[in-house]
């Protein structure tokens, strides 16, 4: 193991109890929304608004060449998979009534120290002060949910 790898693991093993505190759902959703918004921005979309409130839907508004669209973001903690948003049909109907179409994006987030054991039913907790590995799902039109 290299010195850099050893230092990386020492950070984990020497973390204080405060640093090992598990991230709240709000903190994880904030990370998931920001990761998604950054991906959209990187694809050339103009981000208009981002909201990571747990009760806010949609979470992201963006412009394409010819329309304003939205994204509803959900997340799961590894090893689970994200589920479509609750009330997806109501969200879609409300947004269609307002003249908008949109998408759902689901993200699975893992702790940077996750070993990705396929036989494990639990992953490492997502902890404050540590990195996250995102697995970003495709943008699925809300009309397909």
How many Å separate Cα 64 from the centre of its chain? 21
Which residue segments constitute the domains of the chain, with CATH numbers given?
3-144 (3.40.1350.10)
Helix residue spans in 14-141 (DSSP H)? 25-42, 88-97
User: Nearest Cα to 105, choosing from 135, 60, 74, 65?
Assistant: 74
* pTM to 2 decimal places: 0.85
User: Nearest Cα to 48, choosing from 72, 27, 70, 33?
Assistant: 70
Spans of the chain, pLDDT less than 50: none
Which percentage of the chain shows pLDDT scores above 90?
Answer: 70
Which percentage of the chain shows pLDDT scores above 70?
Answer: 87
At 134 the pLDDT is 96
At 50 the pLDDT is 97
DSSP H or E stretch at residue 9: helix 3-13
At 86 the pLDDT is 93
At 115 the pLDDT is 86
At 5 the pLDDT is 63
């Amino acid at each position: 193991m290299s010195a850099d790898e050893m230092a990386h693991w020492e950070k984990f093993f020497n973390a204080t109890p405060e640093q090992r505190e598990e991230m709240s759902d709000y903190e994880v959703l904030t990370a998931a929304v920001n990761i998604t918004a950054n991906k959209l921005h990187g694809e050339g979309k103009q981000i208009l608004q981002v909201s990571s409130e747990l009760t806010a839907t949609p979470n992201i508004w963006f412009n394409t060449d010819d329309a304003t669209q939205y994204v509803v973001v959900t997340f799961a903690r590894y090893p689970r998979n994200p589920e479509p948003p609750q009330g997806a049909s109501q969200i879609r109907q409300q947004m269609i009534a307002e003249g908008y179409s949109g998408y759902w994006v689901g993200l699975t987030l893992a702790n940077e120290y996750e070993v990705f054991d396929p036989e494990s039913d639990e992953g490492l907790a997502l902890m404050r002060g540590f990195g996250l590995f995102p697995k970003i799902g495709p943008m699925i039109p809300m009309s397909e949910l």
